[in-house]
Structure 1
Amino acid sequence: MSKRKRYLIGALLLNLGGCMLGPDYQPPASQLPENWRSAPLSAGENPANAIERNWWQHFNDPLLNQLIEKVGARNLDIKLAENRIVTARAARAASSAVLLPSGDMMASANRQQNQLGFPSSGPSNLAGLVKQPFNIFKSGFDASWELDLFGGHRRDVESAQAELEAAALSQADILVSSRAETAKTYFDIRLYQAQWQLAQQVLASDRQSLAIFQERYQQGDASADDAARAEAKLQHDQAQIAYYANLQAQAEYSLDLLLGAAPGTAHQLTAASAAVPVSPVQLVLAAPAAVIAQRPDIRYAERKLAAATAQQGAAVAKFFPDISLSGFVGLFNTNAGNFFSLSSKAFGMGANMIWPILSFGTLSANLDAADARQQEAMTQYQHSILAALTDVERAFSAFSAQEQSRQALAKEAQANRQLLAIAEERYQQGQTAYPEVLDAQRICYASENNLSQATAQTGQDLIAVYKRLGGGW
């Protein structure tokens, strides 16, 4: 038996009880893994299944905390989501109002003439009397109430409520993303500042090297090629200053947009250089089922599925009669002079039924469309869960690998600092030539730059982990 026939037979059996047609929504069950495959070794389980809501505070950076607060209050994408919540709330109110009686104050005045035909043998005085123009004056209160016997309007309310909840979850998802993007952009700014400062140190070293080689060339201890290479390196490193300054400016403009502020606002906030933030707090994990239950995008997809399921019932109810009650209380008279007299008092009541007997497949097509939208919402919900699991695993894997890389680069940078100090000491004592110092400087500065990049990337990967875990709850 087809789904449509089951709907119709069920409705015929239950319509006297004022039932709600269509399937009643039940949250779908999902098969979720018990543990994460790529959970970082430094992570600890949280028996309360709670992730720190204010995760950004673990980086111990007051300006980052301030920026996160600002983005929650000023970000225009979040404000757009708030507007969509207001729209969805109004739609739910409109759907709920349909369930209640409606009434209107009305007043009308008409002049008309009956156009009735009479046989030629009929009395002429009667025909003239009937065809004589007359007035109708009417004023009062009209009321009507559509009885939702088959639950179509109640399904619309159910759908509107789910859409309202989905709109609120969409805002929560945008808030999570905006906070994470703000933190990542802030890390970029601090990284570019560190690289700019390191480039300044390299440039100062280049100038010193050029001066040494020029002096040695004049003394005949170095060739012209050595001085030319030193000059070329200085010009190359000079270009890096502008390169990192531009990267910082681009990141600051991105931060301006996230803050909903005029261009230049972020630069004023971040002008004072600071180190790339580092979080010393151990990452706390929750089980996959808890994460899926809390992620705003998953909950949004689930609410959209609930709304689509309710619309199936609304489409089924269209196959059955619409029954409404109506009434009138007021004044009715054909004489304006007597309109406000007691004789003009009037009332009326009645009932109407409209049953779409012949629709040429329109109702069936609407039901097919509702079923297809429900299946689409179900597929989207399943896709959202799979994508969420994949996102979290990727974030864990990236963070774990990056943290190991950062630790190795930190040890390398420390070793290269010691080598540079030894080379400089040997040069001062006349035990080695200056090119050995230059090689040590080049290696040391490169390792420092790699460490800065790794530190920023590790922090951003940790931010991504918190975002994938639902932003904290």
Structure 2
Amino acid sequence: MKTKQLSKALKLAPLALIISLSGCAVGPDYQEPTVTMAESYLYSDGEQLNSSDYWWQQFDDQTLNLMVSDLQRQNIPLKRAAERINMARSYHSVVESFKVPTVNVGAGYYNYQLSKNDSLLGPALNPIGDSVAALPPQMGSAVMLDNQHDGGFVGASIMWEMDLFGRIGHQADAAQIRVEQAEIYQSGLNTLLTADLVHNYIQFRGAQERVELLNDNIADQRKTLDLVKKVVRSGYGSDLDLAQAQAMLAATESLLPQLEIAQQVHKQRIATLLAEPLDAVEKRLETDQAVPTIQGVIPTGLPSELLQRRPDIRMAEREIAAVNSELAASVANRYPKFFLTGAPGLSASNFDDLFSSDSFGWAGSVGVSWNVFDGGRGEAMVDINDARLESAMLGYQHTVNSAITEVDSMLFAYGRSQENQMRIEHARQSSEVALSKAKSLYRAGLVDHLTVLDAQRQYRLMLDRQVAAKLQTAQVTVGVYKSLGGDWQI
């Protein structure tokens, strides 16, 4: 009885050792970084930001809304980012697979012949009478071992590394974090591309509106030039007036190719973003529309919300977590590795006997591997990952600081652009009043037609500056929302 109990205890000893060491995972535990942030932005209205609102829809432009939806569905870089997620997930599955046993199965047929002249096995392959003369003649033809053999086999080999110190587990955690980073990258790329599309659409509409105003201005200046020519021919004007009118017209006409180039560049960029041919984009943009504007203030939320909204901050935080897991894996790599191996199988010289119980055989082992000396390589790997961790933490702090600065800068620019737009609007109103009075005075015969044309030119100039101011405000609006981050995925 005692012998049986001792034998049972010896069999259970390896299992007890494994269970006792299973809680011996080594390496630093991850702690999320903490930063001190202000309670509000310097130039914020303090309103809460609703992350469920797709802000570009506040432009109330159905063409823009449709293009954003198509962009997020068919943009090529976004599709590539999705494939990066698939690759990261597959790599995580590869690392996770090392946690479970590796099983290889095989089957085959073998045939071999041993040499009768072999110094070790030769005597056993030749007739006994040839090597031992004293034996009876009737045993002269007997052999101890056949020199030809064949048969079949079916078997498996099993190997499992017991992750007692958490090396594989930490590597799997790092691989999972890389999946999360790939997803964050896709989200951030979606934000950048959506903002790029909105920017190019607004700039195209602005160039389109400015071309229309410029053509009207050119028409007015041509009328002015014709009038000046008549005055000069009548002897009441000077060549200086004529030269000035011609120079002003030429300068105004020189702006038209620049705006047409801008239109073409923005259309080409939109086509690239949408992964569509240029003619398809031109059909989308064939209607003339004014520059879209957002009314009211932008809700900004709290600075602390940036930690979860900004893709670059989230990416930096996940980088700390990934490097921390890789550091823990490098620490665990310096500890012993334990292996379980086994090779059960069937082997027989006759196929009919292959699956009988007597054909079964197996081999098993428990092993340990410990790199006790590597010239400092293991310690150096730990030091490298420790330095990477410190660098990642500094990078996180820098990313947070840069994000706060960017938001404050964009909010400041947003406020000033609105102020500029208000002043341009006041100037436009004043030039409109001046034009109205010039027309009234002309009808009363108190001023000549040149005065009216000059007032028209000033008014159209203010209209052009008003479009430029709207463009600036719209562009800054895009920058504000981009700096605030958030998930822009429809």
Query: Are 2:87 and 1:87 aligned?
Result: yes
Query: Are 2:242 and 1:227 aligned?
Result: yes
Between stretches 451-460 and 364-373, larger displacement belongs to 364-373
> Hey, what's the Cα distance between the residues in 1 that align with 2:191 and 2:182?
14
> Hey, what's the Cα distance between the residues in 1 that align with 2:148 and 2:384?
53
> Hey, what's the Cα distance between the residues in 2 that align with 1:74 and 1:166?
22
Q: What is residue 7 of structure 1 aligned with on the other side?
A: none
CA 112–178 in structure 1, closer or farther in 2 if over 3 Å, else same: farther
Q: What is residue 97 of structure 1 aligned with on the other side?
A: 97
Structure 1 residues not aligned, in runs of 5+: 1-13
Task: Report the 3-state secondary structure (helix = DSSP H, G, I; strand = E; otherwise coil) of the residue aligned with 1:285.
Answer: coil
CA 117–309 in structure 1, closer or farther in 2 if over 3 Å, else same: farther
> Hey, what's the Cα distance between the residues in 1 that align with 2:357 and 2:475?
82
What amino acid is aligned across from residue 33 of structure 1 in structure 2? Answer: A
CA 116–353 in structure 1, closer or farther in 2 if over 3 Å, else same: farther
Task: Report the 3-state secondary structure (helix = DSSP H, G, I; strand = E; otherwise coil) of the residue aligned with 2:157.
Answer: strand
What are the within-5 Å matches in structure 2 for residues 67-466 of structure 1?
67-108=67-108, 109=110, 111=112, 137-333=152-348, 339-466=354-481
Q: How much has 1:231 moved relative to structure 2?
A: 3.1
Q: What is residue 18 of structure 1 aligned with on the other side?
A: 23
Matched length: 456
Contact kept? 1:20, 1:155, Cα under 8 Å: no
Q: What is residue 10 of structure 1 aligned with on the other side?
A: none
TM-score when normalising by structure 1: 0.88
Q: Give the share of equivalent positions with the same residue, in percent.
A: 27
> Hey, what's the Cα distance between the residues in 2 that align with 1:451 and 1:332?
90
Query: Are 2:34 and 1:29 aligned?
Result: yes
What amino acid is aligned across from residue 89 of structure 2 in structure 1? Answer: R
Structure 2 residues not aligned, in runs of 5+: 1-18, 133-142
Q: How big is each residue's C-alpha offset from its partner over 1:98-140, in whole Å with a ceiling of 9 and x where there is no partner? A: 111221111353647599866xxx9996999789575575321
Between stretches 96-105 and 17-26, larger displacement belongs to 17-26
Task: Report the 3-state secondary structure (helix = DSSP H, G, I; strand = E; otherwise coil) of the residue aligned with 1:99.
Answer: coil
> Hey, what's the Cα distance between the residues in 2 that align with 1:443 and 1:111?
104
Contact kept? 2:187, 2:487, Cα under 8 Å: no
> Hey, what's the Cα distance between the residues in 1 that align with 2:97 and 2:299?
47
Query: Are 2:43 and 1:38 aligned?
Result: yes
> Hey, what's the Cα distance between the residues in 2 that align with 1:15 and 1:341?
40
Contact kept? 1:111, 1:136, Cα under 8 Å: no
What amino acid is aligned across from residue 179 of structure 1 in structure 2? Answer: T
> Hey, what's the Cα distance between the residues in 2 that align with 1:202 and 1:17?
82
Q: What is residue 139 of structure 2 aligned with on the other side?
A: none
Q: How much has 1:364 moved relative to structure 2?
A: 1.6
Contact kept? 1:103, 1:142, Cα under 8 Å: yes
CA 116–294 in structure 1, closer or farther in 2 if over 3 Å, else same: farther
> Hey, what's the Cα distance between the residues in 2 that align with 1:52 and 1:467?
15
Q: How big is each residue's C-alpha offset from its partner over 1:131-166, in whole Å with a ceiling of 9 and x where there is no partner? A: 957557532122222111111010011111111111
> Hey, what's the Cα distance between the residues in 2 that align with 1:415 and 1:111?
107
> Hey, what's the Cα distance between the residues in 2 that align with 1:404 and 1:454?
10
Q: How big is each residue's C-alpha offset from its partner over 1:178-218, in whole Å with a ceiling of 9 and x where there is no partner? A: 11111111110111011101110111101211221222233
Task: Report the 3-state secondary structure (helix = DSSP H, G, I; strand = E; otherwise coil) of the residue aligned with 1:220.
Answer: coil
Contact kept? 2:46, 2:302, Cα under 8 Å: no
Q: How much has 1:61 moved relative to structure 2?
A: 1.2
> Hey, what's the Cα distance between the residues in 1 that align with 2:271 and 2:65?
16
Question: Larger Rg: 1 or 2?
Answer: 2
Q: What is residue 60 of structure 1 aligned with on the other side?
A: 60
